[in-house]
Structure 1
């Protein structure tokens, strides 16, 4: 069980490191858009739309990494004062009662949404926009996958903590 958790955490860590280049890409593309509009008085719908794709991959792909690092939003009133065992109970219950039901609903909603988009080869509503909206929508599944892997690892990690003496 520890090897599976370690493998999932390593995958999340590596994916987070790979995705860490995206904020720089986002800034550079945004700079290029501003430069084109205000200096050269021309624009590119495709370049502007690419910002959405970068954002989607950056935030949705990085969800598992953020969760593994414990840098997600947590309302911490009592949690910091709990023992390691108490934190494991809270994390286990939170994963079982909140995260997993959310993920089930998310998967049930996202899969048909993404499949429909792929089936029609959905493109941008802009005439000169990017023709890959179906890929943009597929990033929802990337989010669900990374967070599902984290939930699995979290369940195993916290169950192991509670089983330790």
Structure 2
């Protein structure tokens, strides 16, 4: 009985390994086919192209394309560390650029709230109008609810930037009693075990959540490509424009886009954390914070930097 169970487990492992290896091999074909036939998924005048884009954005094929690219870069980087440092600098630079730009949404949010208070309490106006000729006019409640979008921008698009800057709470309880190299092992395991799977799950959920509020018939994560192509015959755009109040903010589909953007940026940051931790583990304490583009509060404020 035990031998039969062991054989069954071993067979299942072999089947799983075969499935992974076959998908890695197919990833090269899938990339080549997508690049050589962009009209099949980028020509959105064709309804079937839209459905292909929806399907592949959350598909096993797309996952293994990303996974295979990650494996290739990792293998090359293990042979030549300068490649990994270049990837780390590129990914951290991307996170810093996006984060520093969208951090200004916090200031816009404050200024807009001040304007709303002045218009409501002092001028007693029910709406705001911007522009000349063809003006942009919305109810005060629309602008009040829109404040949540600025907050979502800061949370979704500045999370990776905050990680680069060392602003997230870390496991200091463990860090305080382990060596430098042990800390780097913890960081590597954290990026692989927690950050990457979490980002993939959020992407899978957020991708179809986004498209279910943009088109009908609504796509599902369980739909096969053939079923989605059949649905494309009745496809039409149906962008979500329903607000929580009659005159409130009605661009809530933007929050779904931010959710996908958040997942993608966290996944890329997880790769940067993995590579940086490995390189610092290999090169020693002298390489800590190497090439790190960290913000500064200015001269004389060093004691407050990194105090989170």
Regions of 4+ moved over 6 Å:
none
Distance verdict in 2 for CA 1:82–1:127, change over 3 Å: same
Q: Within the alignment, does 1:122 sit opposite 2:205 as a pair?
A: no
Consecutive unaligned residues of structure 1, counting only runs of 5 or more, are none
**Higher helix content, 1 or 2:** 1
Q: Within the alignment, does 1:35 sit opposite 2:35 as a pair?
A: no
Aligned CA RMSD, in angstroms, stands at 1.7
- TM-score, normalised via structure 1 length: 0.90
> Residues 9-158 of structure 1 correspond to what in structure 2 (within 5 A)?
9-43=92-126, 44-119=140-215, 120-125=238-243, 126-158=245-277
> CA shift at 1:81, angstroms?
4.2
> CA shift at 1:57, angstroms?
0.7
Q: Distance in 2 between matches of 1:18 and 1:98?
A: 27
Q: Within the alignment, does 1:163 sit opposite 2:303 as a pair?
A: no
> CA shift at 1:37, angstroms?
2.2
List per-residue Cα deviations over 1:88-135 (Å, max 9, x = no partner).
Answer: 111111111111221121111111111112223001323323342212
Whether the aligned pair in 1 keeps the contact of 2:200 and 2:267 (CA below 8 Å) is: no
- TM-score, normalised via structure 2 length: 0.50
Distance verdict in 2 for CA 1:75–1:38, change over 3 Å: farther
Consecutive unaligned residues of structure 2, counting only runs of 5 or more, are 1-83, 127-139, 216-237, 285-308
Q: Distance in 1 between matches of 2:177 and 2:112?
A: 44
Q: How many residues align?
A: 165
Q: Distance in 2 between matches of 1:35 and 1:163?
A: 58
RCO greater where, 1 or 2, for CA within 8 Å and sep 6 or more?
1
Task: Give the secondary structure class of the aligned counterpart of 1:127.
Answer: coil
- Larger mean CA deviation between 75-84 and 5-14 belongs to 75-84
Q: Distance in 2 between matches of 1:105 and 1:136?
A: 17
Task: Give the secondary structure class of the aligned counterpart of 2:208.
Answer: helix
Q: Distance in 1 between matches of 2:118 and 2:125?
A: 9
Task: Give the secondary structure class of the aligned counterpart of 2:273.
Answer: helix
Q: Distance in 2 between matches of 1:103 and 1:20?
A: 21
Show the counterpart of 2:5. none
